[in-house]
Amino acid sequence: MNETAHSAMIELTYREAVREAIGDALRRDSRVFLMGEDVGRYGGCYAVTKGLQAEFGPERIRDTPLSESGFTGAGIGAAMAGMRPIVELMTVNFSLLALDQILNSAATVRHMSGNQFGVPLVIRMATGAGRQLAAQHSHSLEGWYAHIPGIKVLAPATLEDARGMLWTALEDPDPVLIFENIMLYNMSGRLAPDAGPVGIGKATIRRAGSNISLITYGGSLWKTLDAAAELAKEGIDAEVIDLRTLRPLDDATIVASVKKTRKAVIVDEGWRSGSLAAEVCTRIVEQAFWDLDGPVGRVCSEEVPIPYARHLEIAAIPQVAKIAAAAKAALGRA
Partner 1 sequence: MTAVIDKPHLTREHALDLLKQMIRIRQFEGKCAELYTQEKIRGFLHLYDGEEAVAVGVIPVLEKRDRIVATYREHGQALVRGVPMTKVLAEMYGKQEGCSRGRGGSMHLFDSGTNFYGGNAIVGGGLPLAVGLALGDRMQGKSIVTACFFGDGAVAEGEFHESLNLAALWGLPVLFVCENNLYAMGTALALSESETDIQRKAASYRMAAEAVDGMDVIAVEAAARRALQAIRDAGKPYFLECRTYRLRAHSMFDAQLYRDKAEVEAWRRKEPIVRLQGWLQANCMIHPEEIERIYSEVAAEIAEAVAFSEAGTWEPASELTRFTYAERAAQEKAAYHE
Interface contacts to partner 1, rule CB under 8 A: 29, 31, 33, 59, 64-65, 67, 69-83, 85, 100-101, 104-105, 109-118, 149-150, 152, 171-174
| Amino acid at position 313, single letter | E
Phi, psi of 271 (to 5 degrees): -65, 150
- Kindly tell me which of 69 and 132 has the beta carbon lying closer to partner 1: 69
Closest by CA position to 95, among listed 151, 55, 56, 52 = 151
- Closest separation in Å from C-beta 76 to partner 1: 6
Catalytic option among 16, 37, 68, 180:
68
Task: Tally the C-alpha atoms within 13 A of residue 38's C-alpha that lie toward its C-beta.
Answer: 10
- Kindly tell me which of 149 and 332 has the beta carbon lying closer to partner 1: 149
- Closest separation in Å from C-beta 174 to partner 1: 5
Within 10 Å of residue 78's Cβ, how many Cβ atoms? 20
Q: Find the farthest-apart pair of alpha carbons in the chain and give their distance in angstroms, rounded.
A: 59
3-state secondary structure of 84: strand
- Kindly tell me which of 199 and 274 has the beta carbon lying closer to partner 1: 199
302 in active site: no
Give the CA dihedral 58, 64, 68, 69, nearest 10 degrees: -80
68 in active site: yes
User: Could you give the CA distance from residue 33 to residue 30 in angstroms, rounded to a whole number?
Assistant: 8
- Closest separation in Å from C-beta 142 to partner 1: 19
- Kindly tell me which of 153 and 299 has the beta carbon lying closer to partner 1: 153
- Closest separation in Å from C-beta 113 to partner 1: 4
- Kindly tell me which of 30 and 186 has the beta carbon lying closer to partner 1: 30
Round to the nearest angstrom and report the end-to-end CA distance of the chain. 43
User: Could you give the CA distance from residue 257 to residue 283 in angstroms, rounded to a whole number?
Assistant: 13
- Closest separation in Å from C-beta 111 to partner 1: 5
Catalytic center residues: 68, 137
